[in-house]
Chains A and B, each alone.
Chain A
Amino acid sequence: MIRQVFMWETSANGFRNVLAHGWHPDVANGRPGPPAETEDDTHAVTTASVSAQFMRVVFDELLYGNGLEEIECRDTTPGGESLFSRVPLGTTPDDIANCAVAADLLPVLCKGPHATCLNAAGVPVGIVDDDEDGAPDNTRMIAGAVTLRCGTFEVPLNREQSFWQPAGNQLVPAGQSAGSSIGPALILAPEGGRLPSKQTDCRLAFAPDVTDKEFIQPCVPTGGEEDTDNYGDCTGGDMSAFHFGTESIVLSGSLPTNNSPAVAVTRRALQMTLSAEFDMTSVSGATATVMEGATARTDFTLTSTIARRVDVTMAANLVANTMYTVTVSNLKDTFGVVLDPIVLQFTTAP
């Protein structure tokens, strides 16, 4: 059923798209690229990137798109938000085209069991079709069709950027990589590309009406690490064989540079850039310590005004030829997970 999962991880090798489940001949060492016969192609992801994340879940058979996506209708909700409509099973492109006509023709053409974009009264309101080709202009993922849960957190998905792509197979098209083309695939884009950090058990789940053409729910078979033809079976809905962990948000850059040996004493603005976005408002509840040698200084302020950056601003110059250790604790990521303390060390010039 689920044959591969591509996702982004951050590790000592950097930020890269990797094959988190399954195997593919055009993917070496878990990453899209030239095959490497001698390398281990399995790659369990334990440090999935918590920012700029999106996943490509590749299936070996087609799912009903009806349970995954809905299409944009001309009507809007009272709040002005666009109305989207599910597509009844068995709806063909011709049925869709019948519901993409001018308003005066909708009652004539958009009717029957495959009519789409009906309002609460069952009256067709029409599909958004600005280019007048009879196909929907916009689709989005149905809320709750796919759930990504990391521990206790349910990761919200961007429903516009997530989509079901029935096209594709195991062959990599010209000009594309395996991680961005093979299919059929479900492309999952977490809202803002964000995942909770420090998680060890992230899992996917599907709504009951997300099924293949035999009405079997998606599942993850074991096996297939080295041989694409040797996948095991799986029971519909059993997603237990696929899970991953997420990275911790750590210090990725600073001013002065971490462990710098000769920082000017006038460097009062200490900037710490983290590896991923965090909740900037959590700075107010965070604690910071600045150790000047063995002495704690208290004349500083802790702020965060730029994404991913924490600023510690000293009220007075630093002391020459002294080691400083700045520790910021209790910062939280966007899901509220408390980050590991962020530590910056440097030594001032004589």
Chain B
Amino acid sequence: MKTSKILLAVVLGSSGALLGASLSTTDARAQSSTTGAIQGRVTDSSSGSALAGVTIVVSGNSSQTTITEEDGSYRITDLTPGEYLVTFFFGDVTIERRGIKVGVNKTIPLFQKINTSAAVSETIVIDDKPPAIDPTSTTQGITIDQDYTKNIPVPGRTFESTLGAAAGSQNDGVGVSFSGSSSLENQYVVDGVNTTGLKYGTVGSPVINDFIEEIEVITGGYNAEYGRATGGVVNVATLTGGNEFEGKVFAYITPGQLTAARERSPSESISIDATANEDIDANVGFTLTGPIIKDRVWFAVGAAPRYVQNTITRTTKRRRDCQIQLPTGQLSACDPEMYGDGDADINPATGFHIYEDLDSSKLRPNATSLSTLAKINFAVKPEHQGQLSFQISPGHSNNYAVYGLRTTGDYQADSMGLDGGVKWTSKFDDSKSEVEVVLGWHRDQLSGDANNAGARHIPFEILRRGTLGNWGNIMDLNGNYAESDITRAGCLDAPPPPPGMPRLDPYPDIPNCPDVADVGYRVGGFGSILDNTEDRYSAKLAVTRRQKLFGNHEIKAGVDVEDNISDEPRAYTGGVYFENYRTVIRANRFVQIAPQTSTDPKFDARCQYGSENTEYVPCRYIGETGEGSRVQGETLNWSAYLRDSWQIRPNLTVNAGLRYEEQRLRFAEYVRDEKDPLTGRPFGKNAIVMQGMLAPRLGILYDWTREGRSKIYGHWGRFYESIPMDINSRSFAGEATFRQQFAATACNMVPAPDGYGANSGNGCDLQSQAPGTIIGLEGTAVAPGLKPQYLDERIAGVEYELMEDLKLGIAYQNRELGRVIEDVSTDGANTYIIANPGEWSPDEEAKLKAQLDAATDPEEIDRLNNLLTQFRGIRMFDKPSRKYDALQFTVSRRFSKALYMQGSYTYSRTKGNYPGLISYDNGQIDPNISSQYDLIELLGNRQGPLNQDKPHYIKLDGYYKFDLKKAGEITVGTRLRALSGIPRQAQAAHWLYGPGESFLLPRGQIGRTQFETGIDLHLGYAKKLAGNMELEVFTDLFNLVNNQGVAGVDDTYSTSSSNPISGGSYEDLVFAKSNDDNSGTETSSPVTRNPNYGNVNGRYAPRSIQLGARLSF
């Protein structure tokens, strides 16, 4: 405890204030995603009796006043994050509590004792801090403020880069995941508005850290106000203006010259090699906050442009045949005449082929973006406040083709993020009742187009199993050779010359430039058309009432509604795209399948399938434009909740809540009047109506110190998933793909619109009745009785303030998926059923059976029998599971005596057969409709340690400020991470689904990648200038020791199709046999081996140095 003036014995500060069993403080919960609260009780230091009528003024960003009640309690809510001065006025006594820091969604317990007998007419200033532990909250996580983002080397520009500070969080390659969930299961709230990406659940509004006042990261244990998340909740509060003008101008730059080269892992190369290095990442910007009308209207504005440029070095290479292993064990010199032996040279140290460079070129993709913030807060009266906020973030990027024609792959993309929010808060009845209304709009736009106009309306084609030699003579759309003269000459595969004639090809006995890794070469048009818009309109209403009844209750009830709308193309340039396998060409196109018995003339094509070339359905090709080429999706969400935070005793709190959610996913408008091919009935409006999502939450906390310096707590809750909108466009918009297969010899094309002359897909007669495969022939059905996806959570923990400002914690957290929604196919990919894998309602089965019994029409009987068989098949699938168990040890020292520290060690295991909304194993992001549950054979060997399973994770963030007095201040900050590696797999292809779908060996059987560590360093020097102005220059050194650890390895053991080896081990792979790629038929041929299997294919970023300057005032 420290005071700057006379410390009177009567003023004990907060430490003794909670003493006294009869005290009944109000509950310490204050749930708001943008503001916090201060609450406590004022008592007579001599008698301990409550002091009513004490005037309390809170000053900071804004001012609020309240008076203590009869029991001495008070509560001030809706305080924007920041530091406040709290002043108590009682008679002649004035007590100031300074530096009270209020955080988002946090209630600061501030108890005060006053010596009422002392007639002191001076102001007593107390600088001590309230307890660091919130003894009434079970939430897990961390709060990140501006000091953190200023002084800790945060490897990124937006708030997402800070989230990894929370114990139990990790980067999962798509975002930051929490507590064993995937990152697409989070919810992101900015200024009270849900900004979660609509389509996939990613970060929808990447607000830059400079615009942020505070970030609250909740990794578990949240109450009923929060829902639609089975991961974490991230609350971001942007800057808010106060009565003083404040601002900053900043500039950061990461020059490529100071960035270490990316480490390359030995690998079996391909003939086009690409290495990307950062040239520059430059950011400048400003923020300004202040009053428009003091105590009434405040503003906050900011703008920050950014420019990023990389250099991709594209190198063409060929194998060689000019060395041998000498008897000495050394490799010979390269002499093709002497040592050419017909075998391409292999590096004995790595086992990979040796390549030599042919030609090199540099591509420089770049991106510009602008982040802006505009916010107005106003207070009609202190108890009636409003807020308007906007963030607009336009962006533009230029991207270049690496593996193919520039005219095909060079494109520009434009993006626009927009968030708007309106918030109103009113308090009534001496602040015992409170109403909050939030209206929000979130928009995300993305469009892209080929730079070359000629590529906009012709099909895209990917050439596989060729060599760069074959492709070298391809002409691009401008009539130029695709590759340089050097490359074309170097890749020439010429036969050995007659004796005495010069060699054209130095290595005539080997293929020089093979496409080993099946990457392919891209020609033709742009491919998938990109022009997406997502909108979310949201409204929230919350009413809070504080009531005394057997203790103190804070009862909060709320309701919110969200209308989510997406509009995106579903089309390929030219209406089709080709996969060219040299001997076979596949033409893939979106089609609309005619319902059974349909005679609608618009189904003017014939989609033939089956090896006998006799089966077909009438269909309609979906082109670049026209019906079905754009799909509009809509999902309507609403929820209501009621929760009570009941403080039975000052040190015993029970938090109980109940949340109800509904979700309605609608069919795309253009199919609503169409008939379902499976059922023959109109689709109608709603594809899924998810009701009955009752999510109870219960927490109990006990503070044995009775001073707010400890808590032992437990929490149980159920959390429901909010299904992202990807499913709307993929499953509820009549998507079906017709993959026609042609013999390449039947597809010769001269001249070639795609630049590829011979055997091009453009030469295939697409109107012919060549058979193929229809993926999604019968469409997508929703299993009747479908139930929502949920997760149950249990938490038990202890926190203790060991000494002032230093808090220790230990917590056990268990999370388990109770049910999952995924699409399954029980008929071999003809029909997809959105279902709960492993379960189908017996009641629904009985209903369907009753319909069947009552049916008399033979066709109806067949249809119902088919449905019954399909739905029963859902039960054959393994029930998805994901179980997370974690033990977290945390240490937290808030900034005090020049030191801040935040650290954690988490031991956790995440096991199961379902990683969540991201299929880490094949990179697929299709929430709830991933391929992992599509086919029964894909389930084999999936049980085991999931990708999130990193048992040991140590995090330590901290900074220390050296006060140089007048000379300024030096800050040293660090960010340390040490973590277990990721489980490795052995995967093969599936004949129908392609690479990476089949788990040859049980998940994690191969072990895991190595333990990794990383350390970042921040060095800053700040100097006070005139007035409040301060100039700080700093540098952030990311990955200080340049340890480019392993972030991923190539888990594809084989590109052959094969089924899983149940319970197999690595040795069994020697004997695994492949399936035919076209029919799935088992063969006696051993599976191929990916030469790069197990090789590192992802590394942590190299050392980079960011230089920056910040002028704040």
In contact, B1073 and A165 (Cβ under 8 angstroms): yes
Residues of A within 8 A of B1088 (CB): 131, 133, 135
Segment at the interface with B among A88-96, A227-235, A280-288: A88-96
Q: Which of A69, A89, A135, A174 has its CB near the most chain B CB atoms (within 10 A)?
A: A174
CB <8 Å contact, B1073 and A105: no
The stretch that binds A, out of B120-128, B241-249, B338-346, is: B338-346
Cβ < 8 Å to B, chain A residues 32-81: 61-62, 65, 68-69, 71
| Complex interface residues of chain B between 1068 and 1083 (CB less than 8 A to chain A) | 1068-1073, 1075, 1079-1082
Cα–Cα distance between A3 and B1058 once the two chains are bound (Å):
21
Give the residues from 891 to 943 in chain B that come closer than 8 angstroms, CB to CB, to chain A. Answer: 935-937, 939-940
Within 8 Å CB of B1087, what residues of A? 135
Interface size, A (range): 35 or more
Chain B residues near A328 (CB-CB < 8 A): none
In the complex, what residues of B have CB within 8 A of residue A156's CB?
Answer: none
Most buried by B among A62, A109, A172: A62
Please state if A163 and B1059 are interface contacts (CB–CB under 8 Å): no
Contact yes or no, A109 B348, CB < 8 A = yes
Contact of A259 with B by CB under 8 A = no
B451 to chain A, nearest CB (A): 37
Tell me whether B970 is interfacial, beta carbon within 8 Å.
Answer: no
Q: Which residues of A contact B1063 (CB under 8 A)?
A: 61-62
Q: How far is the CA of A116 from the CA of B60 in the complex (A)?
A: 78
- Does more than half of chain A's interface fall in helix, strand or loop, or is it mixed? loop
Q: Any chain B CB within 8 A of the CB of A98?
A: yes
Asked if B156 is at the interface of the complex by the 8 Å CB criterion, the answer is: no
State whether A171 touches B1071 (Cβ < 8 A): no
State which of A68, A96, A131, A163 has its C-beta within 8 Å of the C-beta of B1073.
A163
Q: Which residues of B in the span 277-332 have a Cβ within 8 Å of any Cβ on A?
A: 324-325, 329
- Min CB gap A95→B, angstroms: 8
Give A91 to B1090 CA distance when docked, in angstroms. 17
Assess whether A62 is in contact with B1064, with CB atoms less than 8 Å apart: yes
Best-buried of B351, B825, B1059, B1081 by chain A (most CB within 10 Å): B1059
Asked if B333 lies at the interface with its beta carbon under 8 angstroms from chain A, I say no
CB-based contact A90/B1067 at 8 Å = yes
The reply to whether the CB of B602 lies closer than 8 angstroms to some CB of chain A is no
Of A69, A133, A137, A181, which one neighbours B1071 at CB under 8 angstroms? A69
Contacts of A174 in B (CB 8 A): 825, 828-829, 935-937, 992, 1080
User: Do A87 and B991 touch across chains, with their CB atoms under 8 A apart?
Assistant: no
Q: Are A175 and B1062 in contact (CB under 8 A)?
A: no
B962 at interface, CB cutoff 8 A: no
**A105 B1080 Cβ-Cβ under 8 A:** no
CB <8 Å contact, B1069 and A93:
yes
Interface membership of chain A positions 134-172, coded 1 if the CB is closer than 8 angstroms to chain B and 0 otherwise: 111111000000000000000000001111111111011
Q: Indicate if the CB atoms of A102 and B346 lie closer than 8 Å.
A: yes
Q: Is the CB of B1070 within 8 A of A96?
A: yes
Chain A residues closer than 8 Å to B1061, beta-carbon distance = 62, 166-168, 184
Residues of B within 8 A of A160 (CB): 1084
Contact indicator A169/B1081 (Cβ below 8 Å): no
How distant is the Cα of A151 from the Cα of B346 in the complex, in angstroms? 53
Which residues of the other chain, A, contact B1080 by a CB distance below 8 angstroms? 173-176
Interface residue tally of chain B, by bracket? Answer: 35 or more
Q: Which residue of A lies closest to B1080 (CB)?
A: A175
Cα A148 to Cα B977 in complex, Å, equals: 61
Contacting residues, chain A, for B329 (C-beta < 8 A) = 108
Assess the B1081–A134 pair: CB atoms within 8 A.
no
Q: State the Cβ distance, A16 to closest chain B Cβ, in Å.
A: 18
Q: Is the CB of B876 within 8 A of A171?
A: yes
The docked-state distance in angstroms from the alpha carbon of A29 to that of B346 is 56
CB distance from A8 to the nearest CB of B (A): 16
Contacts of A96 in B (CB 8 A): 1070, 1089
B828 to chain A: which residues have CB within 8 Å? Answer: 174-175
Do most interface residues of chain B lie in helix, strand or loop, or is the interface mixed?
A: loop
Contact status A133-B351, CB under 8 Å:
no
Please indicate the chain A residues that have their CB under 8 angstroms from the CB of B668 in the complex: none
Residues of B within 8 A of A68 (CB): 1071
Contact call A135/B1082, Cβ cutoff below 8 A: no
The answer to whether A92 touches B1070, judged by C-beta atoms less than 8 angstroms apart, is yes
**Is residue B1086 within 8 Å, beta carbon to beta carbon, of the partner chain?**
yes
For A56, the closest partner residue in chain B by CB is B1082
CA distance A139 to B1085 in the complex (A): 8
Asked if B880 is at the interface of the complex by the 8 Å CB criterion, the answer is no
Question: Does A97 count as interface, using CB distance less than 8 angstroms?
Answer: yes
Contact of B1067 among A92, A103, A136 (CB under 8 A): A92
B480 to chain A, nearest CB (A): 33
Q: Which residue of A lies closest to B1067 (CB)?
A: A92
Chain A residue at smallest Cβ distance from B353: A132
CB-based contact A104/B1073 at 8 Å: no
Minimal Cβ-Cβ distance residue in B for A189: B1084
Point out the residues of chain A lying under 8 angstroms from B670, CB to CB.
Answer: none
Bound complex: CA of A89 vs CA of B1066, how far in Å? 12
- Contact at B1064–A103, with CB atoms within 8 Å? no
**CB-based contact B1070/A180 at 8 Å:** no
Q: How far is the CA of A93 from the CA of B1069 in the complex (A)?
A: 7
Closest A-chain residue to B936, C-beta based?
A171
Q: Is A190 an interface residue (CB 8 A)?
A: no
Tell me, in angstroms, the Cα distance from A164 to B1067 when the chains sit together: 14
**Cβ–Cβ contact B937 & A173, under 8 A:** yes
- Partner among A98, A139, A172 whose Cβ is within 8 Å of the Cβ of B351: A98
Q: Within B376-395, which residues are at the interface with A (CB < 8 Å)? A: none
Q: Are B1070 and A91 in contact (CB under 8 A)?
A: yes
| Residue A101 interfacial (CB < 8 Å) | yes
Interface residue B712 (Cβ < 8 Å from any Cβ of A): no
In the complex, are the beta carbons of A104 and B341 less than 8 A apart? yes
Question: Does chain A have a CB within 8 A of B1000?
Answer: yes
Contact A176 B1064 (CB under 8 A): no
Minimum CB–CB distance for B973 against chain A, Å: 44
Q: Which residues of B contact A (CB under 8 A)?
A: 324-325, 329, 341, 343-346, 348, 351, 353, 825, 828-829, 876, 935-937, 939-940, 991-992, 1000, 1053-1054, 1058-1073, 1075, 1079-1082, 1084-1091, 1093
8 additional A-B residue pairs with CB within 8 Å, beyond A105-B348, A169-B937: A65-B1068, A65-B1071, A96-B1089, A105-B325, A135-B1089, A169-B940, A169-B1060, A174-B936
A residues touching B (Cβ–Cβ < 8 Å)?
61-62, 65, 68-69, 71, 87, 89-93, 96-98, 101-105, 107-109, 131-139, 160-169, 171-176, 180-181, 183-184, 187, 213
8 A-B pairs with C-beta separation under 8 A: A65-B1068, A93-B1066, A101-B348, A103-B343, A132-B344, A164-B1071, A169-B1059, A175-B991
Of all A-B residue pairs in the complex, the 10 with the closest CB atoms, nearest first, are A65-B1071, A174-B828, A173-B937, A135-B1089, A102-B343, A175-B1080, A104-B324, A104-B325, A167-B1059, A163-B1084
